[in-house]
Amino acid sequence: MAMVEFKDVQKYFGDFHALKDINLKVDSGETVVVIGPSGSGKSTLIRTINGLESIQSGQLIVNGYDLASKKTNLNLIRKDVGMVFQHFNLYANKTILENIMLAPRIVLHRDEKENKQIANELLEKVGLTSQANKFPAQLSGGQQQRAAIARSLAMKPKCLLFDEPTSALDPEMIGDVLNVMKDIARDSDMTMIVVTHEMGFAREVANRVVFMADGQILEDDSSDVFFKGEPKNERAKRFLSNII
Ligand code: ADP
Ligand code: MG
């Protein structure tokens, strides 16, 4: 079953055509990596999936909901589709534990004891048990990003979107974050759509690689084909040779 399906989607910012004729289907449980030069529309593409950006025409179905329809309640989509941002976006005035417990409490009305138990299990999973009662600013960037991932996981989403989750991190912190993401990709049946230029990650866990440029999808390959260096599109081939 498709978790996400774009059909002939167009997105404009005023006169600027940011997404052009997007056709993309992501099945439940798939891990898809999106790459492409800066300004190519990668963030815009994944932000449309949980309704952070609207589309102007075409069809976008996410988890069975029609995102082109104004009647669709975006809160219902965001319950099942989480997002991890480049700059973490943790609540600065709440502890790490509280950051993780907040949405399940308010949105899912999860029982407080169960909520705490799940939060502690997630803290352990991302290696932050000892940081539970600290505030975000007291953590390194890598720790904050792992906390943000735990916060998303606490909602038990069906789909998780990542927008360059390691781009703001110092090199020595990237590995821990990628390891957490690899574990999720391997051990869960969650759908993951990841904008990243971490090609090691893509090679290890992605089912597919999508290449964007100028608001278009120019290449959509299984990662096997992509990493044999056989992208059909010349720009995709050149881009790949520059980042590997
Ligand atoms: P990427 O994530 O691939 O770097 P983006 O999706 O952020 O690219 O942006 C794609 C294009 O859309 C860029 O030219 C950017 O300037 C433009 N854009 C993004 N967001 C907005 C906005 N809110 N208003 C106007 N233009 C935007
Ligand atoms: Mg971006």
pLDDT in tens, the chain (244 residues): 899 999 999 999 999 999 999 999 999 999 999 999 999 999 999 999 999 999 999 999 999 999 999 899 999 999 999 999 999 999 999 999 999 999 999 999 999 999 999 999 999 999 999 999 999 999 999 999 999 999 999 999 999 999 999 999 999 999 999 999 999 999 999 999 999 999 999 999 999 999 999 999 999 999 999 988 778 899 999 998 888 7
Between the CA of 112 and the centroid of ligand 2 the distance, in Å, is 36
28-82 pLDDT, tens digit each: 999 999 999 999 999 999 999 999 999 999 999 999 999 999 899 999 999 999 9
Is residue 44 lining ligand 1, measured as CB closer than 6 Å? yes
Q: Do the bridges between strand 31-35 and strand 191-195 make them parallel or antiparallel, or are there none, so unpaired?
A: parallel
DSSP helix/strand/coil, 72: coil
Confidence (pLDDT) at 124? 97
Nearest CA to ligand 1 atom 13: 39
Is residue 41 lining ligand 1, measured as CB closer than 6 Å? yes
Is residue 229 lining ligand 1, measured as CB closer than 6 Å? no
Nearest CA to ligand 1 atom 20: 44
Between the CA of 45 and the centroid of ligand 1 the distance, in Å, is 10
> Over pLDDT 90: what percentage of the chain?
93
Is residue 16 lining ligand 1, measured as CB closer than 6 Å? yes
* Contact present, 24 and 60 (Cβ < 8 Å): no
Nearest atom within ligand 1 for CA of residue 14: 25
Tokens of 84: 């991890």
Confidence (pLDDT) at 244? 74
Q: What is the CA radius of gyration of the chain?
A: 18
CA distance 39 to 78: 25
DSSP string, 87-148: T----TTS-HHHHHHHHHHHHS---HHHHHHHHHHHHHHTT-GGGTTS-GGGS-HHHHHHHH
Between the CA of 85 and the centroid of ligand 2 the distance, in Å, is 10
- 70 Cβ partners below 8 Å, 6+ apart? none
Between the CA of 116 and the centroid of ligand 2 the distance, in Å, is 33
- 51 Cβ partners below 8 Å, 6+ apart? 67, 72, 74, 77, 78
Is residue 39 lining ligand 1, measured as CB closer than 6 Å? yes
Backbone angles phi, psi at 50, to 5 degrees: -110, 20
What count of residues does the chain have? 244
Nearest to 191 by CA among 30, 49, 75: 30
Cβ atoms within 10 A of the Cβ of 234, count? 10
Is residue 40 lining ligand 1, measured as CB closer than 6 Å? yes
The packing angle between helices 171-187 and 141-154, to 10°, is 20
Return the ligand number nearest the Cα of 211.
1
Between the CA of 45 and the centroid of ligand 2 the distance, in Å, is 9
Confidence (pLDDT) at 240? 87
Tokens of 88: 């973490």
- Residue 164 has what DSSP assignment? S
Provide the ipTM.
0.98
Q: Enter the pTM of the model.
A: 0.97
CA distance 190 to 187: 9
